């Protein structure tokens, strides 16, 4: 059994995510909670805001004017394999300058990948990670003010719960494997299970931290607003509820989710999320504050009053979706069981894609876990064949560079 999380740790949170005072102040140049606005870049998908702050950001629930439509038919070209030999990779985040950080679900480690050469540098292990089933070290994100604070965020499973913590990355350190500072837990008490732990985290264009959680197999938790399970959470970089959340004292942003696996914002700043269904339908949802996405009363497009239907749905054999990213006017969604990359072209509308989803790379690289916008028409794509459910090839697991349209 691994030890409990050490470092600067907060007292246990209430079920609605209420926070006490910050346990330890950040180093000089603490996180600045300045809202940002979305532009033609790709905000949030990498776990870091790509746009400068604005004094008049559009609220997350707004409906901006329609943007130019993407082509009805897209394409995917695999440019190169950046690196291989990764063990159970799960989360992926970009550092300023283009290098990548990747988490290992089962080893509980974070590794830096040179964005040009693919060279790997072990930064260290996250204390307290207890990998089991679908739990372990899951999503990672880079602070939107990383140039000042050098903070890396992680969502992980412990012996008792799921947590979100931040650690300072000492880029000038000289001891490989010991470049991460002691974790500061900003949110604890997210229910855990052998499955459905959620785990994706990302900073939005508003520079707030979002997290997707699962209902752990206890389906009733998804509709319970007092529970952090089966939700999308929104919080400040230090784990506090923020203005614009449905309840002032809660980090719960939307509910009725079975197992949220992907978070991304489009060019208009709208939030999208991918979600595992049970036996019938996997989903891509357009997320709005206080939206109820139906689980367990609804799966897929049920048309039931009070529940938000997904924008797109797939048979579970075709998707089992994980990470998503926005590029070239489309959401790109990785499929685990489906072993393919899905493209969902978006229009300016709120509830329907511009054209039918298309699939690419079917069966060529096995299970696909994470997609990350790499700027312009480029995407990073992470395979997931060493997670005990895949069939690893000699190069697995890999990070691929794609060109898309």
- List 326's β-bridge partners, or say none: 331
**Six-digit token pair at 317?**
């054999």
Backbone angles phi, psi at 223, to 5 degrees: -95, -5
32 and 130 Cβ atoms separated by less than 8 Å = no
Q: Judge whether 184 lies within some domain.
A: yes
Coil vs helix vs strand at 134: coil
Q: Judge whether 81 lies within some domain.
A: yes
Among residues 198, 222, 193, 195, the alpha carbon closest in space to that of 211 is found at 198
Q: Judge whether 110 lies within some domain.
A: yes
402 and 394 Cβ atoms separated by less than 8 Å = no
358 and 342 Cβ atoms separated by less than 8 Å = yes
Q: How far apart are CA 294 and CA 311, in angstroms?
A: 13
Where in 276-374 does DSSP place strands (E)?
Answer: 281-287, 312-315, 321-327, 330-335, 341-345, 358-360, 368-373
Q: In total, how many domains does the chain have?
A: 1
Q: Judge whether 183 lies within some domain.
A: yes
pTM: 0.85
| Domain hosting residue 117, numbered range | 76-289+308-404
Query: What CATH number should be reported for the domain holding residue 180?
Result: 2.120.10.30
Return per-residue pLDDT of the chain as tens, 405 residues.
Answer: 333 333 333 333 333 444 333 333 333 333 333 333 333 333 333 333 333 333 333 333 333 344 568 989 999 999 999 999 999 999 999 999 999 999 999 999 999 999 999 999 999 999 999 999 999 999 999 999 999 999 999 999 999 999 999 999 999 999 989 999 999 999 999 999 999 999 999 999 999 999 999 999 999 999 999 999 999 999 999 999 999 999 999 999 999 999 999 999 999 999 999 999 999 999 999 999 999 999 999 999 999 999 999 999 999 999 999 999 999 999 999 999 999 999 999 986 667 788 999 999 999 999 999 999 999 999 999 999 999 999 999 999 999 999 999
């Amino acid at each position: 059994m691994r030890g409990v999380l050490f470092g600067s740790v907060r007292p246990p949170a209430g079920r609605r995510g209420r926070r006490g005072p910050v346990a330890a102040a950040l180093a000089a140049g603490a996180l600045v909670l300045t809202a940002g606005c979305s532009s033609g870049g790709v905000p949030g998908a990498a776990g870091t805001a790509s746009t400068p702050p604005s004094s008049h950001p559009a609220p997350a629930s707004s409906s901006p004017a329609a943007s130019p439509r993407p082509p009805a038919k897209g394409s995917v070209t695999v440019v190169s394999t950046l690196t291989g030999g990764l063990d159970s990779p799960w989360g992926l985040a970009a550092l300023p300058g283009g290098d990548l950080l990747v988490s290992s679900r089962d080893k509980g480690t974070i590794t830096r990948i040179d964005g040009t050469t693919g060279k790997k540098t072990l930064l260290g292990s996250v204390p307290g990670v207890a990998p089991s089933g679908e739990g372990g070290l899951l999503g990672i994100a880079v602070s939107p003010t990383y140039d000042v604070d050098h903070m890396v965020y992680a969502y992980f499973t412990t012996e008792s719960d799921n947590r979100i913590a931040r650690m300072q990355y000492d880029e000038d350190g000289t001891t490989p494997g010991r470049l991460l500072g002691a974790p500061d837990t900003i949110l604890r008490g997210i229910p855990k299970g052998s499955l459905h732990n959620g785990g994706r985290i990302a900073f939005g264009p508003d520079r707030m931290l979002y997290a997707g959680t699962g209902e752990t197999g206890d389906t009733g938790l998804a509709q319970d607003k007092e529970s952090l399970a089966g939700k999308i959470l929104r919080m400040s970089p230090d784990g506090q509820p923020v203005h614009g959340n449905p309840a002032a004292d809660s980090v719960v942003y939307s509910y009725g989710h079975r197992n949220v696996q992907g978070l991304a914002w489009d060019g208009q700043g709208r939030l999208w999320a991918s979600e595992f269904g049970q036996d019938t339908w996997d989903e891509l949802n357009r997320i709005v504050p206080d939206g109820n996405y139906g689980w367990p009363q609804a799966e897929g497009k049920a048309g039931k009053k009070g529940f938000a239907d997904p924008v797109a749905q797939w048979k579970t054999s075709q998707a089992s979706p994980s990470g998503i990213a926005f590029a070239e006017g489309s959401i790109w969604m990785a499929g685990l069981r489906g072993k393919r990359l899905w493209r969902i072209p978006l229009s300016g509308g709120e509830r329907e894609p511009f054209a039918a989803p298309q699939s690419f790379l079917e069966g060529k690289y096995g299970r696909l876990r994470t997609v990350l916008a790499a700027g312009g028409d480029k995407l990073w794509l992470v395979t997931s064949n060493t997670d005990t459910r895949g069939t690893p090839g000699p190069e697995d697991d890999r990070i691929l560079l794609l060109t898309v349209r």
